Amino acid sequence: MTDPLFPANARISVRAMAIGERIDVRAFGSSDRIAAGPLLVRAGAGRAAAVLRYGAVVLFNMDVDDETAFLEAIKPYVADPYPEPDFERMTIAVVPGSDGIVNADGSIALSAASVERLQIVATVLAKSVVLGFYERGLAAVFDRIEPLAASLKRTGAIGAEGRELLREIGDVLLMQQRTVGRVEIGEKPDLLWDHPELERLYARLQEEYELTERARAVERKFDLISRTATTALDLQQTRHLLRVEWYIVILILASILLTLYDMFWS
């Protein structure tokens, strides 16, 4: 185990933020790097930050000015930053002999503020805050899907607003790909392969933040949105094919009428 970054009996404020689609973690120099997987860097005396490639940062023991300075410093490495970052707060209480226990005041107890334990905390909080971002985005899409369903039931067509919504659904399906491919919500961190003694800590935090249940709920919503998009697109295609068939019938009738006209006048 590496030396702890914070002393025993310390209370460490933690803030996790989803700030963009991606962060180029390779751009960080080696001078302040503490560990990788996830990347953990020093951010001044008594401060640290975890930076995750899927657009999340977890800040340890920083006040508002420290956070602002750090986020400004890494801004060039953030692709497609969010206009309003999502965030979650928690407090770590360093209590020897305790790991992952939730105290009465809501703080999370760690037996030591070691690098590996802080990486586990950062991984769980980063996944939680990204899940929260997706949950809010999906809720907004669901609010707009309801009028689309009503329009389909009433008129059998989706209209101009529905076509705009289909584009938004496309963005949601891209979000699904990012969730599975980048964030890997349901996967355990590689760190546990080298530190199996931290498996219980990860399991406790994963349960505390309900990562598994929330990920399943998000997947169900993704599936429903996907099926809604498929239904709407199938309907559009059917209506388009029907119009084409009517055009063909009209052309055939016009050709017959012209032939009859020529035969009559000749």
Name the residue with higher pLDDT: 139 or 191: 191
In a domain, 19, yes or no: no
Q: Work out the mean pLDDT of the chain and round it to a whole number.
A: 80
The three-state secondary structure class of 143 is: helix
Query: With 90 as the cut, is the pLDDT of residue 231 above it?
Result: no
| Other residues' Cβ atoms within 10 Å of the Cβ of residue 46 | 15
In a domain, 187, yes or no: yes
In a domain, 240, yes or no: yes
Of 125, 142, 127, 144, whose CA–CA distance to 222 is shortest? 142
Query: With 90 as the cut, is the pLDDT of residue 59 above it?
Result: yes
Overall number of domains in the chain? 1
Name the residue with higher pLDDT: 211 or 99: 211
The pLDDT tens digits for 254-266 are 777 777 777 777 6
| Structure tokens given for 17 | 């933020």
Question: What are the C-alpha distances in Å from 176 to residues 164, 173, 227?
Answer: 19, 5, 13
DSSP letter at 53? T
The pLDDT tens digits for 130-177 are 888 888 877 777 776 766 666 666 665 555 555 555 666 666 666 666
| Structure tokens given for 177 | 């790909």
Contact predicate 218/131, CB 8 Å: yes
pTM of the model: 0.76
In a domain, 29, yes or no: no
In a domain, 228, yes or no: yes
Plot region of 244 (φ>0 → left; ψ -120 to 50 → alpha; else → beta): alpha
Domain that holds residue 210: 130-265
In a domain, 251, yes or no: yes
Mean pLDDT score, 61-69:
92
Spatial distance between the Cα atoms of 136 and 32, rounded to a whole number of angstroms: 34
The torsion of the CA quartet 171, 174, 176, 180, rounded to 10 degrees, works out to: -160
Contact predicate 39/82, CB 8 Å: no
The pLDDT tens digits for 66-96 are 999 999 999 999 998 988 888 889 999 988 8
In a domain, 221, yes or no: yes
In a domain, 73, yes or no: no
